[in-house]
Structures are given as C-alpha cells and as structure tokens.
Amino acid sequence: MDDFIIVYMTTEKEDHAKEISRQLVSDRLVACAQIVGPIRSIYRWKGKVEDEREWLCIFKTRSSLFERLSAKIKELHSYEVPEIVGVPIKHGSTEYLDWLNCELLK
C-alpha cells in the first residue's frame, strides 16, 4: 500500500481556506480537507514577532502527490511563504486508508 501523509497549511481567511480546500479535493490531490479555526499563530517573520489569527487546513493525501499538492497550494495561496508541512500517517484503519487511496489521483 502507498504511504499516506497529513499536510498542514494555514491561511489568514476562512473563505480562502475553503477555496483552496475545495480546489485540492476537486483536483483529487487530497481526499479530505478539514478546516479548523480560528487559531492563534505567533511566529517570527522578517525580524518581527507576529501574533495573528489564522485558519488551519488539514489535508489527507498520498506522499507521492506531495510535490504536486505543494505546487498547487503555492499557486493558490496569498502568503509569500505558505506553511506546507507533511507528516506521515503511521497507522490507520484499513478501510479508511483504502478510501483515501480510491479518492486520490492514481
């Protein structure tokens, strides 16, 4: 079976999170997108500590699709450097992982 990953991405607006998520699911780059928020992000950017409200997107996909997914997010995203972080799914129910596999590009 293929390796699956969870990809995290943040954005400043809920509508933008929905737009990107719908496009990625439509393109079959992700099988599922969950939007959580608002969240509070504190980070350093260009020498300054920022404290911002953001929306967190959690995507489920196959590791082999990460580069295409990353490129599409960069194309659609408003941030100069969007967060695009993939972590492996180490364990999952066979039924769920089978469903993920069926919903993604081959």
User: What tens digit of pLDDT does each residue of 36-49 get?
Assistant: 999 999 999 999 99
Question: Which amino acid does the sequence have at 51?
Answer: D
Q: What residues make up the domain containing 93?
A: 4-103
pLDDT at 82 (0 to 100):
97
CATH code, 23: 3.30.70.120
Q: How many domains does one find in the chain?
A: 1
Q: pTM here?
A: 0.95
Phi, psi of 7 (to 5 degrees): -115, 130
* Per-10-residue mean pLDDT, the chain, length 106: 89 98 98 98 97 98 97 97 97 95 94
Q: At what angle do helices 14-26 and 66-76 cross, to 10 degrees?
A: 140
